Structure 1
Amino acid sequence: MFLDDQTLAKLLAEGNHPDERGYIGLWKVVIVENLPYKDMRRTGKVPKFLSHRLFPNSRYSIWLDSKMRLTSDPMLIIEYFLWRRKAEYAISNHYDRHSVWEEVLQNKRLNKFNHAAIDEQFNFYESDGLPRIVNVEHWQSYSGTGKFHLHQGLLRQFKASDLT
């Protein structure tokens, strides 16, 4: 489990303390320092999308948003979402928004990022073939709160420069 100081402090306050080997439950705690961005939303994208680069010797990875808790055996999750379906990648559906356009509007409403930057990114998606009005069944919006993937195949083509 890779944590920054803030997240570790929250876990400690909740009574989750590493044992003498540095584990909390099944998870070895590793403190990450020298984070690449001041904005934690951007820093969180690095392990979320590039876990295959951070852990090249790992066969699988699971990424969970900080609001999620893993309550099952990780291998059962890998089996269900990847092995049984013969998939390389699984990601959770968004609980409320069902299209990229709805996500764009919500990000603007919440002032998550500069509106011009949001428009520029969405215009890029449109120029790449994503329609503004979408058929939900074909272009669903994914929350990204849970992501599971096999470290092989097309995913290995992504690199750090793809996030800038």
Structure 2
Amino acid sequence: MNGVIPKYLVHRLFPKTKFSIWIDAKLQLMVDPLLLIHSLVVAENADMAISKHPYFVHTIEEAMATTRWRKWWDINALKMQMETYCENGLKPWSPKKLPFLSDVPDSALILRKHGVRSNLLLSNIQ
């Protein structure tokens, strides 16, 4: 949880930068970071690229694993959150959701273009 501020608010810590890369300790970067930025953000005209979860494609699967592994102390709050998501239309992932390969991002790798749109998106995270 200590990585939340630098992970999501890099644009606030380094306001003059055009791009940022967050790489979690569980990953090892094997290619040039500029190549990653160009291929996943610039060439795709995207504001952000986030790695896909290695095991789960549906949010409920991730919540059940979080409960099973006791990664979250308040199981009832997690259950209520998932029920709220389902009540508001969360459906299991299916090929109909393409081009999205998963409903579960894994924030081990985050590539961001710093600009008005991405700054607005992540400025509300607390």
Q: What TM-score, normalized to structure 1?
A: 0.65
Identity %: 29
Question: CA offset at residue 128 of structure 1?
Answer: 4.4
Aligned residue in 1 for 2:86: 126
State the 1:117 CA deviation. Answer: 2.7
Query: Moved runs in structure 1, 4+ residues, more than 4 A?
Result: none
Change (3 A) 1:154 1:126: farther
- Measured in 2, the distance between the counterparts of 1:162 and 1:127 equals 23
Report the AA paired with residue 63 of structure 2. Answer: V
Q: Name the stretch that deviates more: 134-143 or 48-57.
A: 134-143
Q: Which has the larger radius of gyration?
A: 1
RMSD, aligned α-carbons: 1.9
Give the SS at the match of 2:22.
strand
Size of the alignment, in residue pairs?
Answer: 119
Q: Answer yes or no: is the 8 Å Cα contact 2:57–2:93 preserved in 1.
A: no
Residues 123 and 50 of structure 1: is their aligned pair in 2 closer, same or farther, counting only changes over 3 Å? farther
How far did 1:55 drift? 1.7
Where structure 1 has 5 or more consecutive residues not aligned to the other structure, the ranges are 1-41
Distance 1:124 1:49, change over 3 A: farther
Question: Is the aligned partner of 1:87 residue 2:50?
Answer: no
Unaligned runs of 5+ residues in structure 2 are: none
Question: What is the deviation of 1:150?
Answer: 0.3
> Which amino acid in the other structure matches residue 151 of structure 1?
H
User: What's the CA shift for 1:98?
Assistant: 0.8
Report the CA distance between 1:65 and its aligned residue. 1.2
Distance 1:53 1:128, change over 3 A: farther
Identify which of 94, 101, 110 aligns with 1:136: 94
Other structure's SS at 2:9 match: helix
**Aligned partners of 2:13, 2:79: CA distance in 1, in Å?**
31
Q: Secondary structure at the match of 2:125?
A: helix
Query: Which residue pairs with 1:30 in the alignment?
Result: none
In the alignment, which residue of structure 2 is the partner of 1:98? 57
TM-score by length of 2: 0.82
Equivalent residue for 1:68, pick from 23, 27, 39: 27
